[in-house]
Chains A and B, each alone.
Chain A
Amino acid sequence: MSPSIPLQEMIRAIRSARTQCEERGVIQRECAAIRAQFRQVDNGGARSHNLAKLLYVHMLGYPAHFGQMECVRMIASPRYSEKRVGYLGAMMLLDEKQDASLLITNSIKNDLAHSNQYVQSLALCTLACMGSAEMCRDLAPEIDRLLRASNSYIKKKAALCAVHIVRKVHDLGELFAPAARSLLAEKNHGVLHGAVVLITQLCERNPEALERFRKTVPDLVQIMKGLVISGYSPEHDVAGISDPFLQVIICFMKDLLVATNTDSTKTVGNAVLYETVLTVLDIKSESGLRVLAVNILGRFLLNNDRNIRYIAMTSLQRIVGTDHNAVQRHRGTIVDCLKDQDASVKRRALELSLALVSASNIRTMMKELLLFLSSCPPGAQIRCVCVSVRYAPSQRWHIDTILHVLTTAGGDVRDETVPNLIQLITNTSELHCYTVHKLYRALLTDISQPSLVQVACWCIGEYGDLLLKGECQETEPSQVTEDDALDALETVLQSHMSSPATRGFALTATMKLSTRITENVDRIRSIVSIYGSCMDVELQQRAVEYNALFRKYDHMRAAVLERMPVIEKNSSGHTNGETAGDAVKEIQPAAVKQTGPLLPQQPANQVCDLLDLLGGSEEPLQPSTALGLPNSTSTAGGDLLDLLGGLELTPLAPVPVYEKDGVSLTLICEKTSDSGMTVTLTASNSTDSDISVFTLQAAVPKSVQLHMKAPSGDFLPARGAAKVTQMVALNNPNKVNLKMRIRISYNTSQGSAYQDTVQIDSFPGL
């Protein structure tokens, strides 16, 4: 067994070890020696050195749990030096989770009653540092006794120990309340400090205590005044300000004084000012004080010291909700801080700037923010976009900004941005030309940003005709030929940087262009057929379907691929037509309601052909519009074949309800929601003469709500050449037995008016 070496020697030996392995060797030897020494009963003054060595080893990160029992023994020793190291070891090695910590409770109790104040202080310090709830409960009466009866050195430590106890065991707060009150009368700053902290803790935990201690506010004001006004006290002075620590802690007690004589060139003065400002802002002070507080914060913002600027911005963030205008005045400085080198300052400045954006200053702010975008972390950019969404002054500016964000940081934008942006573009119909030109140019320069490329492809496909026309009021005209557009799309398709989703976008866009352009249809066919054997299943499926569209359903191609109607924002967040088969049913009534009038009558014939192919019954206009929607907007699925399959699943046969004098009325009803449904009435005229001014009126039972949409027309040509449809929306919340009475009125070609009524008692399809 090698002889043990003194602490300093060991430290030197460890430090001189050149490799990790050597160091470990030294430490293992030492630990073995220490263990052996611990096992010996008594070896004079070396015990404390051994424990100190062990503590050093522990600080380096090596295990030292075998020293715990030694700590317990050392604490119980009568020697002060051993007690000191023992308590230090207890604070470092024992915490409340260790069982050995309970063993020292008795020693602490004895030491708290020791005659020597330094021994008492050791015990108090250890208890405050690692006292568990059990220990606190046991020793609380002792602490209370010390709070009242001892000298100021012990009192201050006892006060802070009481704070720890209150934090651990909330109920014991009651025990310390009276003693705390009396402590406020002390002169000693340390005791005062401890007392104020204790009272703060008590008030935080217990609102009743708060009431009681409210009466002490005048005393605190006195103390504060004494500190500020009284002369120079060398003991507690820091750079000309008497006892800033005590001042701050009293401020923290939510006092009302404003420290006006503090010099703010030093950090210390600023600390006191800052605390005062926080106090003023937290309590419900009058507006004059608040303005003063904001002004002080403004002065902080102009300070050169980064720390001061940082805390100023943190505080302004807290009040920007309530005192918005006051903070707006400092907007310039805050925006300047965006350019600071320091990451913490930049982050705070960004948060504050985003909070300050309003409709009036959005343009200037966004300019600054966009400059900042190129250098800032990804998360911030999305928030910039959200902010711009809220305050966009004009659509064009909005689109410009989002495009800018996409070009600089498109990779980090959320997925929802793409459909949101597309929806925004469709909504601003006057800017289609401008948007598509800009996007085309952006696509030419850079195809690495996925969201940008997706939006650009979609726009080119959708508004390709506008792009090719070449003239546009809002941007310089550029001659884009069909080949150029197809080249761009092909680059996207073939680039290795494009994700499968992006390629899907590009393929669909290429397909859409086939109806918009006149000459290069063959080129498009060849592109599409190449992808019919692509490895990616999604692309292959699309390509095969588009091929089918070219070959078998060429007559329908124009209808299927024509311009998209305005997309309504879906509240649930899923894009229209995302899921293929199931969604068709839901889309149908919605589609018909909104897009019915937009869709020209022409495709109706082609639709009928489609239905003939299916061999299904004649259905009114509903499915035709549904075809257009899912195909173009979906990023996954939504292909023709699935759609046709979906149609097969929902045959809706019209039910004849009225037949007289050649005028017949059929009805189809469909449930749209739990209590609502749509009834579509179709009228046709099989006589040889035309019928004009054909109107329908409907009545329903009282509890049912009825809403009649505009009819498709009021002219029924002879021999069923055309039909008139009328949609009626019904809402039946009470689920009564649904009946409807319909009055038909029309004028024959001879000019006579005719009226009839029919009652419908049963609604098929319900």
Chain B
Amino acid sequence: MMRFLLLFSRQGKLRLQKWFTPISEREKKKIIRDMTSMVLARQPRSCNFLHWKDLKIIYKRYASLYFCLAVDNQENELLALEVIHRYVELLDKYFGNVCELDIIFNFEKAYFILDEFLIGGEIQETSKQVVNRCIESSDMLQETMEEYMSKPAF
């Protein structure tokens, strides 16, 4: 089971946080601080796996963003790397050549995509096409509803 997913920039600014277990605000802030300092301190070509308390931390750097995923001890680390990569691919497909600014200005969309891919700390859909189709349909639904609602009711 995945415990949390964090996205942060090279300067340590948080871009996205998803928690799969209930944790207090103070604890969350502390974890974010620990993660950013640990991951940013790593050498460029070092191993992508870390040990922290009783969890395994898998991180990967894409351009200027660090994706940091924490899993239980018995999970497969290589698969977690694949999960991160799959998420990046989904974002890329949705935004078209995604960059950090896309995630900053459209953070709620990044969350929606994540919610279509992972639920409750587990992978929910293994097919990229299905996830993309779902996101598109939800967006369509949102727009049509808005259009519908903003039309004056006669």
Q: Which chain A residue shows the least CB distance to B106?
A: A8
Contacts of A339 in B (CB 8 A): none
Q: Encode B1-26 as 1/0 by CB contact (under 8 A) with A.
A: 10000000000001111011011100
Query: Does A95 lie within 8 Å of B23, measured CB to CB?
Result: yes
Query: Does B104 lie within 8 Å of A267, measured CB to CB?
Result: no
Query: Does A157 lie within 8 Å of B49, measured CB to CB?
Result: no
Within 8 A of A (CB), among B32-77: 43, 45-51, 76-77
Query: Does B126 lie within 8 Å of A189, measured CB to CB?
Result: yes
Decide if B95 is an interface residue (CB 8 Å cutoff): no
Q: Encode A211-247 as 1/0 by CB contact (under 8 A) with B.
A: 0000000000000000000000001101000011110
Query: Does A153 lie within 8 Å of B81, measured CB to CB?
Result: no
Contacts of B111 in A (CB 8 A): 88
Query: Does B142 lie within 8 Å of A81, measured CB to CB?
Result: yes
Decide if B105 is an interface residue (CB 8 Å cutoff): yes
Please pick, from B47, B112, B124, B134, the residue contacting A345 in the complex, using a CB distance under 8 A.
Answer: B47
Query: Does B79 lie within 8 Å of A245, measured CB to CB?
Result: yes
Please pick, from B48, B130, B142, the residue contacting A307 in the complex, using a CB distance under 8 A.
Answer: B48
Query: Does B134 lie within 8 Å of A153, measured CB to CB?
Result: yes
Query: Does B127 lie within 8 Å of A60, measured CB to CB?
Result: no
Decide if B153 is an interface residue (CB 8 Å cutoff): no
Contacts of B46 in A (CB 8 A): 306, 341-345
The CA of A81 and the CA of B141, in the complex, are separated in Å by 8
Contacts of B79 in A (CB 8 A): 244-245, 248, 271, 275
Decide if B122 is an interface residue (CB 8 Å cutoff): yes
Among listed A51-59, A515-523, A588-596, A685-693, interface-contacting one: A51-59
Query: Does A161 lie within 8 Å of B119, measured CB to CB?
Result: yes
Contacts of A449 in B (CB 8 A): none
Known A-B contacts A95-B23, A307-B47, A310-B47; A270 and B122 likewise in contact (beta carbons under 8 Å): no
Contacts of B78 in A (CB 8 A): 267-268, 270-271, 274, 307-308, 311
Among listed A121-129, A538-546, A555-563, A715-723, interface-contacting one: A121-129
Known A-B contacts A244-B82, A267-B81; A45 and B150 likewise in contact (beta carbons under 8 Å): yes
Q: Encode A720-764 as 1/0 by CB contact (under 8 A) with B.
A: 000000000000000000000000000000000000000000000
Contacts of A252 in B (CB 8 A): 76
Please pick, from A156, A243, A268, A271, the residue contacting B124 in the complex, using a CB distance under 8 A.
Answer: A156
Distance in Å from the Cβ of B91 to the closest Cβ of chain A? 16
Decide if A568 is an interface residue (CB 8 Å cutoff): no
Within 8 A of A (CB), among B74-131: 76-79, 81-83, 86, 104-105, 107-108, 111-112, 115, 119-130
- Pairs of residues from A and B, 9 with the lowest C-beta to C-beta distance, nearest first: A128-B120, A271-B78, A342-B46, A164-B120, A306-B47, A160-B119, A245-B126, A95-B22, A80-B145
**Could you list 11 A-B pairs, sorted by A, with CB under 8 Å?**
A79-B146, A81-B142, A118-B138, A160-B120, A243-B126, A244-B82, A267-B82, A274-B76, A306-B46, A342-B46, A342-B47
Interface residues of A, Cβ cutoff 8 Å to B:
8, 11, 15, 44-45, 52, 55-56, 59-61, 79-81, 84-85, 88, 95-97, 116, 118, 121, 124-125, 128-130, 132, 153, 156-157, 160-161, 163-164, 167, 189-190, 193-194, 197, 235-236, 238, 243-246, 248-249, 252, 267-268, 270-271, 274-275, 278, 306-311, 341-345
